[in-house]
Structure 1
Amino acid sequence: MKKVVALFLSVLMLLSLAACTAGENTREEPQFTVPLDDDSYVFQANPEAAPLPGGSVIALAAESSSLESGAEALLWKGIQTFASNFGYTAQSFTYGDGETNTAEDALRNAAQSGATLVVCRGEEMAKALFQIQANFPGVHYLLFDGEPHNEDYTVYTTESNVHCVQFQEEQAGYLAGYAAVTEGYTTLGFVGSDELPDVVRYCTGYLQGAEAAAEEQGEEVSMRVWYTGDIDDQNLVVSRLTDWFNNGTGLILANGDDLVQRAVDAANQTGGRVFATDWDQNALGERVLDSAVKCYNAAVQRQLYAFFTSNSTWSQEAAGQTEKLGYTDGSVALAGSTWRFNTFTQQDYERVYEELRNSDRKVETYSDMDTLPETPSVTLEVQN
């Protein structure tokens, strides 16, 4: 009898240990949710994590008009949300709109305000940060979509008080291309401002996604690519895109604030459709099929938490380094605020996203148009 009781107690102990281990694993690896709505994201810390100290100032340096909508507006929302939830103070320092100060002035004013961390974004800020990053060693910076560099892009220097975040645009582009062809579009277009690496990555990801869907469905797809370059005449851009739609292009992926709107203008005249980029621009109208986005709101909240859990400094792995975000942590997505697809379902989207995260699908990085992936199902034409 004693042996039976001892055996029974041993089994109970093993079951208890297994349950504890399973609970620990659950806490360490929370279930991943495929992103759909970056605008509503709120970071949730592990309930068992030590509370953050709070009290510090988090600043955003940005152009005045950019806080109304777009990437900086999402960064600002993320900063405010994080500050409110964890006991910090959010402040913005702006330039432009008739003011005489510059991006460099906005960064300097933010640093001199006593902010612990200054968030900024884009090429103007990258050039400005290059000039002043060493002047305020006690201030830390978080730069999105860029790395500190001089005016002519010949020198790049990132000090240890700076952490840079870039997104893998090719992954967002892949989602757009796959969704477009699955939805039934076989005559595609891409329009971008300049042949810069981030713009090209959107294009080549779009191409790879279209190829994957076309191959699966046994379709033949054509894609026309146009980089507008120095064309300032917006009416000329609309006219060119209108011709594209009239000549059979069913859907255009547009990258660039003005270009998305110009593409929508052309689509309104012709009945074509547009895929927007960077942030959720579905509100521009019914002609916007969807937006392939970078999750700025979610990304900045996660970065802020990492910074403040590292004693309000950049960790050894982050200091002076550039981090590239993508589908691994849900930092690129298709915007689900308005789902205008008829054939490509949200279940399809979630399936493809998980296949990308699990490496069942591959998206290669191409930052120029000189070397491109093989796409036997997609005929590519690059316009001059």
Structure 2
Amino acid sequence: MKRRITALMMAAAMCMSLVACGGSNTSTTENNNTAESGSAAAKDASDLKIGLVTDVGGVNDGSFNQTAWEGMERAGKDFGVTVNYLESSTDADYAPNLETFADEEYDMIISIGYMLADATRNAAEQNPDIKFAIVDDATIDLPNVTCLMFRAEQASYLAGYVAGKTTKTNNIGYVAGMANETMNQFGYGYCAGALDAKPDVKIQQFNANSFGDAATGKTMANTAITNGADVIFHAAAATGLGVIEACHEAGVYAIGVDSDQSGISPDTVLTSAMKRVDNAVYDAIESLVNGTLESSVHTYDLAEGGVDIAPSKDLIADDVVAEVEEVKQKIIDGEIEVPADKESFEAKYGDVYELD
């Protein structure tokens, strides 16, 4: 079985950049600074070029960047636009990759992740005639930049609720790729959901400080397993592949992130906290094609299908599936307010979140 999961992960890493899937959904607009239509909107779609710059996880991370590229590929097929990507091996690659697309006169450049914020801001200031979009950052207020945000805490709350209801040892784990304001949203939601499901559950928390280190993810998961965890959630992109592998080898459950990661290990991945980056990227390209792209902050939430847990629920008990659907509706209706920051989390749950 170890050879099987390793083979599956290698195959996914080699071929997923060729797979196209995704969809579109509506989004809320928090800021209404409408960008000038510019030369891009005047072009035929077949003449438009859109580039994607990954963070260090790479386009085959099985998660965040890969999902974004899948949305790009679908947009390319649906609208006839040209799409391309450049991978960043280190943070030193961000600015050169953005500059490469700008020098090649791409009409739109999409940055994947808040770690690209500074480089994206600089590139947008230097290239006012090019449209830019960035995922998971809302700090850039420029007329040619669109910010794509997500209520990640809502999806991870549902994942935490599943973990709390599923654990037999009353002990679960969480591996974060980074500890910062954006990534802590995953942690606050997960811990809140788990504690609402089982108030006395133990939550082991780890910060890998990397989105591209599967070995560290595996080590941290093994530590949690040794200390009694039987469900481990990762919000760590490619680092999380190591978490899933460790869980597979130990025969405990993993919870994936960003996309439905059950295909990596069908008998291991209990569910996934999905952040539909593919939808957001697709929407941005569609708006560019239609000439309606705005320089605003678009926030995708549970009500719009921008976040959710994975549709694959074969490993979750039927009664838990039913409870999760009820909880989901309560979040949508505003009956459950999921904490997205330290203050709101500690107001209800106390000082139990360790990574901020």
Instruction: Using structure 1 for the length normalisation, give the TM-score.
Output: 0.70
Structure 2 match to 1:115: 106
- After superposition, the Cα gap between the structure-2 partners of 1:355 and 1:40, relative to the gap in structure 1 and judged at 3 Å, is farther
Distance in structure 2 (CA, Å) of the matches to 1:274 and 1:67 = 22
Is the counterpart of residue 92 in structure 1 residue 54 in structure 2?
no
- After superposition, the Cα gap between the structure-2 partners of 1:295 and 1:112, relative to the gap in structure 1 and judged at 3 Å, is same
Mapping of 1:121-140 within 5 angstroms? 121-140=112-131
Task: Give the aligned residue type for 1:108.
Answer: E
Q: Compute the RMSD of aligned alpha carbons.
A: 3.5
Task: Give the aligned residue type for 2:119.
Answer: A
Structure 1 match to 2:262: 282
Is the counterpart of residue 83 in structure 1 residue 76 in structure 2?
yes
CA drift at 1:229 = 4.4
Mapping of 1:1-384 within 5 angstroms? 40-43=21-24, 54-63=45-54, 66-68=58-60, 69-86=62-79, 88-96=80-88, 102-147=93-138, 157-185=140-168, 186-214=170-198, 220-229=200-209, 238-285=218-265, 286-309=267-290, 311-314=291-294, 319=295, 321-337=296-312, 339-344=314-319, 346-366=321-341, 368=342, 372-375=346-349, 380=352, 382=354
Number of matched pairs: 316
- After superposition, the Cα gap between the structure-2 partners of 1:383 and 1:345, relative to the gap in structure 1 and judged at 3 Å, is closer
Task: Give the aligned residue type for 1:134.
Answer: E
Could you tell me whether the CA contact under 8 Å between 2:114 and 2:136 is conserved in 1?
yes
- After superposition, the Cα gap between the structure-2 partners of 1:113 and 1:182, relative to the gap in structure 1 and judged at 3 Å, is same
Deviations 1:154-206 (A, max 9, x none): xx543110011121221111010112223355322212133211221111101
- After superposition, the Cα gap between the structure-2 partners of 1:261 and 1:82, relative to the gap in structure 1 and judged at 3 Å, is closer
Distance in structure 1 (CA, Å) of the matches to 2:88 and 2:25 = 35
Structure 1 stretch displaced more, 129-138 or 54-63: 54-63
Structure 1 stretch displaced more, 196-205 or 278-287: 278-287
Instruction: Using structure 2 for the length normalisation, give the TM-score.
Output: 0.75
Could you tell me whether the CA contact under 8 Å between 1:60 and 1:76 is conserved in 2?
no
Distance in structure 1 (CA, Å) of the matches to 2:226 and 2:46 = 57
Q: Structure 1: 5+ residue runs without aligned partners?
A: 1-38, 46-51, 148-155
Could you tell me whether the CA contact under 8 Å between 2:146 and 2:297 is conserved in 1?
yes
Distance in structure 1 (CA, Å) of the matches to 2:190 and 2:167 = 15
Could you tell me whether the CA contact under 8 Å between 1:238 and 1:263 is conserved in 2?
yes
Distance in structure 2 (CA, Å) of the matches to 1:83 and 1:371 = 41
- After superposition, the Cα gap between the structure-2 partners of 1:40 and 1:355, relative to the gap in structure 1 and judged at 3 Å, is farther
Distance in structure 1 (CA, Å) of the matches to 2:270 and 2:163 = 9
Where 2:346 maps in the other structure, the secondary structure is coil
Distance in structure 1 (CA, Å) of the matches to 2:194 and 2:214 = 28
Could you tell me whether the CA contact under 8 Å between 1:59 and 1:118 is conserved in 2?
yes
Where 1:80 maps in the other structure, the secondary structure is helix
Task: Give the aligned residue type for 2:118.
Answer: K
- After superposition, the Cα gap between the structure-2 partners of 1:371 and 1:331, relative to the gap in structure 1 and judged at 3 Å, is closer
Task: Give the aligned residue type for 1:172.
Answer: A
